Amino acid sequence: MRFAHLSDSHLGSRQFGLLERETDFYDVFAKNIDKIIEKDVDFVIHSGDLFDNNRPSTEALLAFQKALLRLNEAKIPIYAVAGNHDSILRKGALPPQVLFKDIGLKLISDNNPIYTEGPVLICGVRYVPSSQSRALKSAYDQLSKIADKYLKSILVSHQGIDKWMHEDTHEIELSQMPKNFDYYAMGHVHNYVEEDFGKGKLVYPGSMEIWRTSESNENFREFGKGFVVVDLSYDKPQVERVKIDLPREFVRAVIDYNKFDEGLRDVKEKIQSLDNKPMLDLTVAGGDFDSADVYETIKETIGGNVLNLRPSFKPDKVLEEERI
């Protein structure tokens, strides 16, 4: 049995207030669904933050509805859990995913935490904040007892585990996770993570798009963005990383002010070679210069070739202060 695992699609995210970036998120999500259908999997798991907020726009809702109807046509069921972005942390409140239950979405929730696909248990917990970590641990323990009764089991959860989170931002420690599941379908961490754990595999597929500029990092360059296909027919699940091309690049460049004209020319050639206008983080460092004048030159030279320009300036006096 094979399934696709994806997470953190953040539909409706309008990065830096740019409509083009919101469209990018919809396009990437559609590409992921196209590839999932092409892979001919038995089912799909989405591990939270389907939407960027708990009151998604009409456009975001329609983007998911189109994807769900396509999966229905392909006879591929999808299971989902609410994440921190698309949850309303109030007793009795419902996440926006409930709108799609009647047209095929299988929502893993407090009221319905358990499903089965043939001999496979699919169970999980909606996002639980760190202030309720004791309740989260209790829910995991209850599901762990149920998992012992099944040949194969999958835990679906949108939580930050300490090993992959910044200090004191996690909801649970790795040592507190139950160890008897075959596959841990995790969400919340935007980098790609695949690790042997317990008797199976623990995977964060990562976000589908670059939601923060800091995600354009070494992890992204190695693993890209996308989803995984998991084969449960082995003693330990086999995980295939499936990369999806993003519509535009995040370019980071540093120009030595002492070679400013040459450096700016190189940056311009790079971004003009791209299919779509990129997001550009540009640092000018060294030398003695007026930041306002340099910014105007940059804007005039390459401003029309980028979707978003984020400049920073570090003349010699700033570099000296940083070294102190």
Amino acid at 260: F
> End-to-end distance of the chain based on CA atoms, in angstroms?
59
Catalytic residue among 5, 10, 85, 190: 85
DSSP line for 41-97: -SEEEE-S-SBSSSS--HHHHHHHHHHHHHHHHTT--EEEE--SSS---STT---GG
C-alpha 74/C-alpha 35 separation (Å) is: 12
Between 58-73 and 19-39, two packed helices, what is the crossing angle to 10 degrees? 10
- CB-CB contact of 183 with 43 (8 Å): no
Please report, to the nearest 10 degrees, the dihedral formed by the alpha carbons of residues 98, 103, 106, 108 taken in order.
0
Annotation says 85 is catalytic: yes
- CB-CB contact of 119 with 151 (8 Å): yes
Give the residue numbers marked as catalytic.
Answer: 85
